[in-house]
Amino acid sequence: MKFVLSSIPVLFISILLIAEPLFAQIDRETGKPFATRSEIIAQRGMVATSHPLATQAGLDVLRRGGNAIDAAIAANAAMGLMEPTGNGIGGDLFALIWHEESGQIYALNASGRSPLGLSYERLMGILEEKEAGSIPPYDLLSVSVPGAVDGWFEMHERFGSMPMTDILSEPIYYAEEGFPVTEAISTGWQRSVNFLQNQPGAFMETFTTDGKAPGKGDVFRNPDLGNTFRLLAEEGRDAFYRGEIALNIDIWMQENGGYLRFEDFDYHTSEWVDPISVNYRGYDIYQIGGNNQGTAVLQMLNILEGYDLSAKGFASEETLHLMTEAKKLAYEDRAKHYADPDFYHIPMERLLSKEYAAERRAHIGDRAMRDIATGVDVMEDGDTIYLTTADQFGNMVSLIQSNFRGMGTGFVVPGTGFSFQNRGELFSLDPDHPNVYAPGKRPFHTIIPGFAMKDGRPWFSFGNMGGAYQPVGHLSIITNVIDFGMNIQEAGDALRWMHAGSTEPTDTAASQLTGTGILHLESSIDYETVRALRARGHTVRIGEQFFGRYQGIMRDHERGIYFGASESRVDGQAAGY
């Protein structure tokens, strides 16, 4: 008996070892190893955000007869309230919109500009007094005009169908009556409170209770933001840019040594621009370009189109090597050429040409490149939200909105309920750099929405937040779907990677890379792959990086349905009806 009993564990372990391949195939309903959950499928409409209640606010608009543009505004307003650690009306916005009736894709740049009254010479003098070598992120110098609200009204005026009073009704309700704070957001909220608690203004009064951030499950209210939403719903964009809100901001800025004035708000406009695109293996991939980093996505795709990634395999040592090298090359152009097109002519035709991609591809060898100009990374972390919507009429919206760093600067004008962004930090101080600071200029932005077309028809609205990670995230999602055959939920759940160490558009001078940068991989990577990458000369670290958050909606024209996907690592939700 003793022999039999002692043999049972050994026998059981042996059975498990023999059966391991079988268990690996059936550990998920789909039998596919990358998906943590199924796609959402619906016919009449879809909303995907990083907060379930914001998703429901957008879906409620669709159910009440609103379109995808109306739903995107409602969801974004709710997100600014519920996830102030990443976005809010003190920040900027970019959007790609497929409009079914006109059969076109439209691009909106709703980013704000630097103060008209702050010259480059004066800025440099102030920085010298502060003994600062760059624009400090939590200083009034980093505050540019918030563009998100103007973006909402531009979208609404051109494509909206529901009154703004109805669109903002749910966000107003949640601001006044409260909402429970989710786990991931509460953690970032407390971190921001610890850092921003001594900023002048009403930050602590607005965003804390008894000096503390709300914890997981705590019901939080922001009646000041609710009042601001009511003003916008009743009086329109002018309440923010030419009315009570702009006047109060002007007074507060003058009292606290700030630089924005009423004239800066009155002068502000969003801009409808021509989207940029490249064809990748038969799919047209769209970005906005200009003063954001979306162009890098298209440059990387052009370079990688020269390789058979499908044959090399997902997350293989060779695939990760090629993607990392393509990222290094594209980010050098990002550092040198991406800036406000009102101040600099971006050589876009050259940057996006297949010929240029072939020239850049020729630099990629078997070893990790070391001779790429670089500088100090200041944008690897960036707190933002991405959302996407689709409606029963066929309209689709890809929208991204941000404060930049966490809850922004922490400067809150009493009674407004929101914190100002710190996008102005991303200006260069080099007078010869395309992204150099100037009055009334839009700084470089990290935030990018994505969209893809197939055979002239809308196919996939997608995006992710995460600072400098965003172009890499877009690249990963597109190749996961097109090259590796994943569905859109698998594409977001699969292993992520990020390379840090590229030149930044804020650098005062380019320097040569003395190493290869750092390739960060999520912990599910096979260690043999890590060893092989290190053998190629890559410096590899597991984790130690923020890999963003993703949402996506795909349209199936033949069956008349939408597929939705959302970030599984935190609180994301895609929902349809």
Q: What is the pLDDT of residues 271-302, one digit of tens each?
A: 999 999 999 999 999 999 999 999 999 999 99
Q: How far is CA 239 from CA 155, 168, 170, 533, 540, in A?
A: 17, 15, 20, 55, 51
> Angle at Cα 272 formed by Cα 479 and Cα 99, nearest 5°?
65
Q: Is the dihedral of CA 16, 21, 26, 28 positive or negative?
A: positive
Tokens (6 digits) for 540: 């590899």
Task: Please tell me the total number of residues recorded for the chain in this structure.
Answer: 577
Q: Which residues in 392-415 are b (16+ Cβ under 10 Å) and which e?
A: bebbbbbbbbbbbbbbbbbbbbeb
DSSP string over 234-284: HH-THHHHTSHHHHHHHHHHHHTT----HHHHHH---EEE--EEEEETTEE
Tokens (6 digits) for 476: 């990963």
Q: What is the pLDDT of residues 3-27, one digit of tens each?
A: 444 444 444 444 444 444 433 444 5
CA atoms of 375 and 307, how far apart (whole Å): 29
Q: What is the pLDDT of residues 106-126, one digit of tens each?
A: 999 999 999 999 999 999 999
Domains of the chain: 42-272+393-405+422-426 (no CATH), 275-380+447-576 (3.60.20.40)
Least confident of 176-190, 362-376, 472-486, 540-554: 362-376
- Type and span of the H or E element at 184: helix 183-196
Residue found by looking up tokens 């010929």 in the block = 355
Q: What is the pLDDT of residues 466-503, one digit of tens each?
A: 888 999 999 999 999 999 999 999 999 999 999 998 88
Tokens (6 digits) for 87: 């976005």
CA atoms of 346 and 198, how far apart (whole Å): 40
CB 454 within 8 A of CB 284: yes
CB 320 within 8 A of CB 333: no
Least confident of 56-65, 151-160, 273-282, 378-387: 378-387
Overall pTM surpassing 0.85 (yes/no)? yes
CA atoms of 384 and 88, how far apart (whole Å): 9
- Catalytic residues, which ones? 384
DSSP letter (8 states) at residue 443: P
Beta-bridged to residue 404, according to DSSP, are: 383
pLDDT at 246: 98
**Reduced to 3 states, what is the DSSP secondary structure of residue 394?**
coil
CA atoms of 214 and 565, how far apart (whole Å): 28
